[in-house]
Chains A and B, each alone.
Chain A
Amino acid sequence: MAPINNNRPALPPAAHRLPINVDLLAVGIALTLAALIRFGVIHQISF
């Protein structure tokens, strides 16, 4: 067992990954939203 290095840099929060496949979730949500827009469930989105 390697010794604990108390001087190591703090792990940046970017490494706090979600415990799910973010890529597939993003694709799933995007395709669902696209389908809802295509078939008129969601009408118009402004920004």
Chain B
Amino acid sequence: MTPTGPQRMTPTMSTQTIPLPATVRVPSTSQRIVSLFPGIALLFGIGMLGKLFEHTFTVLRTEHHWLMPQIEYVLWAIILGLIVSNSVGVHRIFLPGVATYELWLKLGIVLVGARFLLQDVLHIGGLSLVLVAVELILSLSVMTLLGRIFRLPPKLTSLLAIGSSICGVTAIMAAQGAIEPDEEDTSTAIAAILTLGAIALFSFPAIGHALHMGQQAYGMWAGLAVDNTAESVVTGALYGDEAGRFAILAKTARSSFIGFVVLGYAVYWASRGKAAVVENKALFLWQKFPKFILGFLAISILATAGFFTKGQLTSLSNLSRWAFLPAFAGVGLRTNLKDLVGQGWRPLMVGILGEIFIALVTLGLVFWSYGHGVAR
């Protein structure tokens, strides 16, 4: 799924490596808005088809007693998206709109704030912050060590460490401007993180069921261990509604560290003369901070303060599900298995080994938290 033409908007596409053509037609704002419609329609179409499949399977199973598996719309949306992107492919006319999956994902996360009381956010979020701090230290150390063992380029190692320890692609893109890696390193790190996210989508729920994990514990684990925000939310939602909410909470806490980690790496590479010096560190932290977390907290505060009635909270909760519907379809649509396997084995091996380590550590942390009554 490699787009071509003037629609391609790749932050990593720098003029240092591929010169821009002399005449590039810049589309107007209205043209850009109109160009979003086909892809958005595709996202919602696949999501709605997923809902239809879930309903049809349920009817066939319950009313006609057919032997049908219970497959939630979440999984249907991903499967349908994967089928489209890996068979006929996604035509470039859909690409701008498909890229809005990130907007739907974050809109859903903010609206999910209505389903959390502030005291729960503070308790679980506070616990998550402690677990994230432990996970960060261990994962950054192990990924750096693995990168040296497998002789990866140092900046690729940094990108893989940042991506796997915080929030996947978002963190890599945030780090890209700060540590100035080669375009190839960025592409490889993103591909590795997406491959690992795709593996997690299908392996984590199976492991959760095998270990008889509760909804909350599993959700915390998915939020702490799965890198990319979209895959993390989906991995949680595949296990159950409550698991999805707790995955969001843990993931949100993890994402809040992004500025600090990227700043740390920026300072490190600047000290070695291989990146620009960060002049205003407070401004840097604010620029890198994921602002949607503030929206999540604002909605949660309003819900806790009784600003909404019970019926209105239900409506907000349903709105978040509507927002997640195209986001889940987007996760499937943007996963191209051919692209993912063509990235070279060494970065993938570093990623896989690092992710196994992170998954085991976070699983241990979650079991310890719930076993010792730290979480409730």
Query: Does B11 touch A at the CB level, under 8 Å?
Result: yes
Say yes or no: A27 contacts B191, CB within 8 Å: no
Given A12-B336, A13-B95, A47 and B188 contact (CB-CB distance below 8 Å): no
Task: Count residues of A near B (Cβ-Cβ below 8 Å).
Answer: 36
- Flag if B191 contacts A9 (CB, 8 Å): yes
Residue contact A10 to B339, C-beta cutoff 8 Å: yes
Q: Is the CB of B98 within 8 A of A18?
A: no
A43: min CB distance to chain B, Å: 8
Indicate if B214 sits at the interface (CB-CB under 8 A): no
Instruction: Categorize the interface residue count of chain B.
Output: 35 or more
**Contact: A23 with B292, CB < 8 Å?**
yes
Using A12-B190, A14-B190, A14-B334 as known contacts, say yes or no to A26 and B182 having CB atoms under 8 A apart: no
Most B CB contacts (10 A, CB to CB) among A13, A22, A24 go to A13
* Surface stretch bound by A, among B146-154, B204-212, B216-224, B317-325: B317-325
- CB of A8 within 8 A of CB of B183, answer yes
Stretch at the interface among B61-69, B99-107, B115-123: B99-107
Residues of chain A contacted by B247 (CB below 8 angstroms): none
Interchain CB contact (< 8 A) of A45 among B16, B98, B319? B319
Residues of chain B at the chain A interface (Cβ within 8 Å)? 1-3, 8-13, 16-18, 32, 90, 95-96, 98-100, 102-103, 106-107, 109-111, 114, 169, 173, 182-184, 186-188, 190-191, 194, 228, 290-292, 294-295, 298-299, 302, 307-308, 311-312, 315-316, 318-319, 321-322, 333-334, 336, 339-340, 342-344
